[in-house]
Amino acid sequence: MVNIIGDSHTRSFGWLHNLNSYWLGPGRDMNLQHDKIDNIKNRLKNINPHKNDINFLFFGEPNVRYQLDWDHHIFKRLKIFEVEPKVNRDYIDIVINNYVKLVEELHFKTKILTPTTTYSPSIPAMKYFNNKLKEVFGDMVLDIFQHTIDESGNPKLRFRRDNFEHDPIHCNNELVKVFEKEINLTFLPSKKENLNNLTEFGTISMR
């Protein structure tokens, strides 16, 4: 079994056979800041993968977006062209260090999945964040973000959700194809009626 554990971005991996996507909660509460990371740690205590499972942590996008204007819901308040694409390296370095401590204290082995977004103001900071992830965690990192942007550094349109105007943050399930290519596995859709304890996106709720 493959397990992807994170915030609302796990919705891109819902409704798949042999892949469990664990939604710990919304990014405003489940993120890598000093005052929020304990929320993640407490939820992770309730996840006990099997010995041979392949596990991925999938965090970081909410922090990248937050540092644009210190607002998790900036996309609801400002139009995309009104948002300056800032990169607060000091802040990002701090949350990366928090991520390291989280992994060090974890009770199961894991890999790190690079966060993704279709929100263009976040891209410069997302590049910095993911480069730092690879610098710090090395081979533990599986980089799916690199496939979601074009040569000009813009988010590829094929990853946008159908309701992009209301949700410019999350990638759609085209992200699964990228993940499959990187991990060299294929995941078939699950029959919704046969699955229990799931959200509307087919993720396992840990709230």
| Contact predicate 120/78, CB 8 Å | no
pLDDT confidence of residue 191: 73
Q: Name residues of the chain where pLDDT drops below 50.
A: none
pLDDT confidence of residue 202: 92
pLDDT confidence of residue 197: 72
Its domain, for residue 56, covers 2-205
Angle between helix axes 123-137 and 61-69 (nearest 10 degrees) is 130
pLDDT confidence of residue 205: 94
d(CA 68, CA 168): 15
pLDDT confidence of residue 193: 58
pLDDT confidence of residue 92: 98
Number of domains in the chain: 1
Q: Is 24 helix (H, G, I), strand (E, B) or coil?
A: coil
CATH for 24: 3.40.50
Average pLDDT score, the chain:
96
| Contact predicate 124/167, CB 8 Å | no
pLDDT confidence of residue 108: 98
pLDDT confidence of residue 198: 85
- Residues in Cβ contact with 197 at an 8 Å cutoff, skipping those fewer than 6 apart: 204, 205
pLDDT confidence of residue 196: 62
pLDDT tens per residue across span 125-180: 999 999 999 999 999 999 999 999 999 999 999 999 999 999 999 999 999 999 99
